[in-house]
Amino acid sequence: MFEDDEKLIEFVPKYPHTLPQDWADSNNPTVYEISATLDTLKKMYAEQTKDLNQGRIDQETGEENLRNIATNYQTIKSILFQPR
């Protein structure tokens, strides 16, 4: 089917836990890497909210962590919608 295997993208099994430092080329991430990172940040936000609601972390630290995760999410998401 494919005559040249070098054009195939290697499957990375750590999809549920992908962050920008895991990207093959940090200056040019693939849509797959961006999507995986956005999903990871959503999970981190949900876990942080759960920890905050259950009192596992103090309010100030939890809210700061949530702001950081949300900011990172928006920054990564903006990569998908850059003007061409």
Write the pLDDT tens digit of every residue in 3-52. Answer: 566 655 565 555 668 888 888 898 888 888 898 899 999 999 999 999 99
Give me 21's structure tokens: 């430092």
pLDDT at residue 84, as a whole number? 62
With helix as H, strand as E and coil as C, how does 27-68 read? CCCCHHHHHHHHHHHHHHHHHHHHHHHCCCCCHHHHHHHHHH
Per-residue pLDDT, averaged over 62-72, amounts to 96
CB 24 within 8 A of CB 33: yes
82 DSSP assignment: -
pLDDT at residue 80, as a whole number? 81
pTM: 0.76
Q: Where are the domains of the chain?
A: 30-84
Higher-pLDDT residue of 37, 84: 37
In whole angstroms, give the CA distance from residue 67 to residue 61: 10
Res 81 pLDDT > 60: yes
pLDDT at residue 9, as a whole number? 59
pLDDT at residue 45, as a whole number? 95
